[in-house]
Amino acid sequence: MNTIDIETRPFPDQKPGTSGLRKRVSVFRQPHYLENFVQSIFNTIGGLGGKTLVLGGDGRYHNLAAIRTILRMAASSGAKRIIVGRDGLLSTPAASCVIRSRQADGGIILSASHNPGGEQGDFGIKFNAANGGPAPESLTERIYRESREITSYRTLDTGEVDLSSDGEHELNGTRIEVIDPVDDYARQMESLFDFNLIHQMFNSGHFRMRFDAMSAVTGPYATRILEQMLGGEPGTVMNGVPLEDFGGLHPDPNLVYAKELVEILYSSGGPDFGAAADGDGDRNMILGKRFFVTPSDSLAVMAANAHLLPGYRMGVRGIARSMPTSSAADRVAEALGVECYETPTGWKFFGNLLDEGRITLCGEESFGTGSDHVREKDGLWAVLFWLNMLAARRESVDTIVRSHWRQYGRNYYSRHDYEGVPADAAESLMVALREKLPGLRGQRIAGRVAAIADDFEYTDPIDGSVTSHQGIRLIFEDGARIVYRLSGTGTEGATLRVYIESFEADPDLHDLETQTALIDLIEAAGEIGGIRHYTGRDKPTVIT
């Protein structure tokens, strides 16, 4: 086995988006494409000499091939240890957990999250730092700059290790540890939640749940934790075997893509609780019997009840939410007397707040919730949080949420996505909106007065870094909002996301259908944005 340096030329398109570099599998399979990006990461972090790296992915097509490539590269670069999930599997939150529990210097996660997989699908790669969290913007920017200048990468001419069973190997002087992908994570979950209480609830005979792993990475995690450790009946976990192409489906836990689960929860005699996670296990959807909990409400309800759970008994130190996420959590923070931070979209912006102990819980409207236990959003953790809450309160999901609304008011909330829009049309829409902004202030729109019209800019309270152009927002005097932004995770054309929110304090008005409750704002959002004009669409592709 020899170390070899391979000459290469930069690819112009290796700029990471909201969550790492995501491209079609065919792009990643071009000669040198993956290697260039990986070497750019290594160069940016000052080489791998003597370092410990965690490596794993969501099991999608190309996962194992990429892992073998990265193993050879890391071993050729003098890494001390590489910790790999068995069969190349590690969910995103589990990778974050392992980086922290084993004090690694960082990790590489192979995933395109909820994007479809398979040979024609998407692939992705992201780098997480020693805190277990996604590389901050400053780091991804440097990696990108490095990728524009790269001339060679280092690897080994041969060298394979068996990734199908746990054990230790040596590759060019680097120790390769193949670990059970679930162990560290399951142990951490046990330390945060009251497993006995949840076990009793499952055993009572009065509680049933379904968890849809969507043929993605959470299958082994959910089966171990929900069925084996907590005593959920066999079949609690559905679609629990990770498949390279996720069964040809879209592993995105929402009402549209997790249709099978939704039908079960809405059927007569259905289970009491339903949940799903996405391709890499960081997203979650929470359902009760015939009841959908919006992710924004989920964050707020979790924050209000955290003190009931062992891992959060000391209370919540602060909360953060991404800007487009509804402001339901803000009112809980206010009631608790703690700070609520508003960050740009993407988990990387929570990192500093978590590291500094400013916040305990954080979340995004895009089915992401998490806490300071790791530095990624965590799907199964959210499910266990809800289970523990249900067991402690002995109430149903909808009772808990409705009483939350009565106490804090209800934020009607919806996101409308226009997928596959030509990139230049989407860009023109945003440019035109930006020009319109000054004129919108003080205007009467949909029976409300626009108080703020701006392009969201965030100054990180810890390191002072400034991130601009994070979404155009229109905030009305009564707290209602319309937000427009372009997705940073797509691989084809552009996706326009329009986020619509209104607040209702009156409990008599808490039972409206969401799209009906928001109809005037939805229409206004279409007109102001000139959505039909620019996209040629008269309705969104996906409504969540």
| Residues identified as active-site | 113
22 binds, among Co ion, ligand VG1, none (CB under 5 to 8 A by kind): none
Question: 43 or 345: whose CB is closer to ligand VG1?
Answer: 345
Residue pair 362/351 in contact (Cβ under 8 Å)? The answer is: no
Residue of 278, 378, 460, 501 interacting with ligand VG1 (CB under 6 A): 278
Residue of 347, 350, 413, 499 interacting with ligand VG1 (CB under 6 A): 347
What sections of 240-395 are H helices per DSSP?
A: 259-266, 295-305, 328-336, 351-355, 379-393
Q: Is the dihedral of CA 72, 73, 75, 80 positive or negative?
A: negative
Choose the binding region for ligand VG1 from 211-219, 485-493, 509-517, 528-536 (rule: CB under 6 A).
Answer: 485-493
In whole angstroms, the minimum distance from the beta carbon of 84 to ligand VG1 comes to 20
CA distance 478 to 318: 24
Contact between 364 and ligand VG1 by CB under 6 A: the answer reads yes
Question: 202 or 413: whose CB is closer to ligand VG1?
Answer: 413
487 binds, among ligand VG1, Co ion, none (CB under 5 to 8 A by kind): ligand VG1
392 to each of 116, 231, 405, 406, how far by Cα in Å? 37, 17, 19, 20
Question: 282 or 417: whose CB is closer to Co ion?
Answer: 282
Contact between 113 and ligand VG1 by CB under 6 A: the answer reads yes
Residue pair 162/177 in contact (Cβ under 8 Å)? The answer is: no
CA distance 42 to 77: 9
- Sketch the per residue contact string, 493 through 512, with ligand VG1: x for CB under 6 A, - otherwise: ----x---------------
507 binds, among Co ion, ligand VG1, none (CB under 5 to 8 A by kind): none
Choose the binding region for ligand VG1 from 310-318, 360-368, 464-472, 530-538 (rule: CB under 6 A).
Answer: 360-368
CA distance 471 to 336: 28
Bridge-based pairing of strands 122-128 and 21-24 is: antiparallel
11 to each of 22, 111, 170, 424, 492, how far by Cα in Å? 14, 20, 32, 22, 18
489 binds, among ligand VG1, Co ion, none (CB under 5 to 8 A by kind): ligand VG1
Contact between 378 and ligand VG1 by CB under 6 A: the answer reads no
Question: 364 or 501: whose CB is closer to ligand VG1?
Answer: 364
Contact between 281 and ligand VG1 by CB under 6 A: the answer reads no
In whole angstroms, the minimum distance from the beta carbon of 489 to Co ion comes to 9
Q: Within positions 11 to 50, which residues make up the interface with ligand VG1, using CB under 6 A?
A: 18-19
In whole angstroms, the minimum distance from the beta carbon of 485 to ligand VG1 comes to 7
Single-letter residue type at 408:
Y
Residue of 16, 288, 346, 370 interacting with ligand VG1 (CB under 6 A): 346
What sections of 12-91 are H helices per DSSP?
A: 25-28, 33-44, 63-76
And the tokens for 151? 């001339």
Single-letter residue type at 154:
R
Contact between 488 and ligand VG1 by CB under 6 A: the answer reads yes
346 binds, among Co ion, ligand VG1, none (CB under 5 to 8 A by kind): ligand VG1
CA distance 151 to 172: 23
And the tokens for 158? 């041969």
Which three-class secondary structure state does DSSP give residue 299?
A: helix
CA distance 332 to 306: 11
Which three-class secondary structure state does DSSP give residue 269?
A: coil
256 to each of 261, 396, 512, 543, how far by Cα in Å? 10, 23, 20, 8
Closest of 123, 21, 126, 17 to residue 488, by C-alpha: 17
Question: 92 or 470: whose CB is closer to Co ion?
Answer: 92
Q: Which residue is nearest to Co ion (CB)?
A: 113
Residue of 169, 283, 473, 481 interacting with ligand VG1 (CB under 6 A): 283
CA distance 421 to 140: 26
Question: 94 or 391: whose CB is closer to ligand VG1?
Answer: 94
Q: Which residues bind Co ion (CB under 5 A)?
A: 113, 278, 280, 282-283
105 binds, among ligand VG1, Co ion, none (CB under 5 to 8 A by kind): none
Which residues bind to ligand VG1, rule: CB under 6 A? 18-19, 113-114, 278, 282-283, 322, 345-347, 364, 366, 368, 487-489, 497
